Amino acid sequence: NAGVTQTPKFQVLKTGQSMTLQCAQDMNHEYMSWYRQDPGMGLRLIHYSVGAGITDQGEVPNGYNVSRSTTEDFPLRLLSAAPSQTSVYFCASRGPTGGNTGELFFGEGSRLTVL
Amino acid sequence: KQEVTQIPAALSVPEGENLVLNCSFTDSAIYNLQWFRQDPGKGLTSLLLIQSSQREQTSGRLNASLDKSSGRSTLYIAASQPGDSATYLCARGGSEKLVFGKGTKLTVNP
């Protein structure tokens, strides 16, 4: 059981480049989300999805784009990378049973550096 | 704005000591309270999830309690071990979003 899988684990970009962070889960979870973690700032929600075809903004959505075409996948796109987007990105999913009260499972993280 | 506060930010204890980590939140209308562990360079591992209708949850040497009226949760670690060294985060679960505290970095010295 792979759980939540994120790729790539490490990435270096130049300012203005675009890229996609991939997230996949094999637990049939309806809810998926993206967080960024920065020193002194804690974990902040970027975007989330409550099911295929449904996405919504979190606390810090600017500069990021998401889509949810399948239950399994929830990619995060950086449209034009900026140094302020240097961070560790985490994808998380939550089970379908219990709706909002499910346990949140995290991937191992993607470490992004924007030069 | 919903706030989650964890005090202290760092804690160092000798091996074998029982300890309590604190988490406070501003909105008592929560769905659940979840405790996580994060090792350096790693993702978050779920430790305990307390539903809003529950008062506590236990797993091995860990016990988490929830007091909605006072806006507080505690994580009790019994007989601490060096392997317990990590950052512990709590998260307040709302309708669609979790709000995280900034964590308590625990060091257990042999």
- Residues B39-94: tens digit of each pLDDT: 998 899 999 999 888 999 999 999 999 998 899 999 999 999 999 999 999 999 87
Cross-sheet strand order for the sheet of A76-78 = A4-7, A19-25, A76-78, A64-66
Q: How confident is the model at residue B95 (pLDDT cuts 50, 70, 90)?
A: low
DSSP string across chain B = ---EEEE-SEEEEETT--EEEEEEES-S--SEEEEEEE-TTS-EEEEEEEETT-SEEEETTEEEEEETTTTEEEEEE-S--GGG-EEEEEEEE-SS-EEE---EEEEEE-
Q: Kindly determine whether residue B52 and residue A100, on different chains, have CB atoms separated by under 8 Å.
A: no
Taking alpha carbons only, the member of A39, A32, A93, A100 closest to residue A66 is A32
Q: Kindly determine whether residue A100 and residue B93, on different chains, have CB atoms separated by under 8 Å.
A: yes
Q: Looking at per-residue confidence, does A40 or B36 come out higher?
A: B36
Rounded to an integer, the average pLDDT of A84-104 is 81
Q: Is A95 helix (H, G, I), strand (E, B) or coil?
A: coil
User: What is the rounded distance in angstroms from the CA atom of residue A86 to the CA atom of residue A48?
Assistant: 20
Centroid of chain to Cα A66: 8
Residues of chain B with Cβ-Cβ distance to A104 below 8 Å are 34, 46, 91, 93, 98
Q: How confident is the model at residue A11 (pLDDT cuts 50, 70, 90)?
A: very high
* Residue of A45, A59, A90 with shortest CB distance to B43: A90
Cα separations (Å) of A23 from A53, B27, B32, B65? Answer: 16, 31, 25, 32
Phi, psi of A75 (to 5 degrees): -75, 150
Q: Is A8 helix (H, G, I), strand (E, B) or coil?
A: coil
* Residue of B31, B95, B101 with shortest CB distance to A42: B101
Q: How confident is the model at residue A47 (pLDDT cuts 50, 70, 90)?
A: very high
Q: How confident is the model at residue A96 (pLDDT cuts 50, 70, 90)?
A: low
At position B97, the amino acid (one-letter code) is K
Looking at the predicted structure, is the pLDDT value of residue B22 above 70? yes
- Residue A95 in tokens: 């089970």
Q: Is A74 helix (H, G, I), strand (E, B) or coil?
A: coil
Looking at the predicted structure, is the pLDDT value of residue B102 above 90? yes
Asked whether the beta carbons of B109 and B11 are under 8 A apart, the reply is no
Q: How confident is the model at residue B29 (pLDDT cuts 50, 70, 90)?
A: confident
Is B43 an interface residue toward A (CB < 8 Å)? Answer: yes
Residue-level pLDDT at B63 = 97
Work out the burial of residue A41: count CB atoms within 10 Å of its CB; fewer than 13 is exposed, 13-18 middle, 19 or more buried.
Answer: exposed
Looking at the predicted structure, is the pLDDT value of residue B2 above 70? no
* Most confident of the ranges A36-45, A84-93, A98-107: A84-93
Looking at the predicted structure, is the pLDDT value of residue B1 above 70? no
Cα separations (Å) of A11 from A3, A84, A113, B17? Answer: 22, 15, 6, 41
Rounded to an integer, the average pLDDT of A30-51 is 92
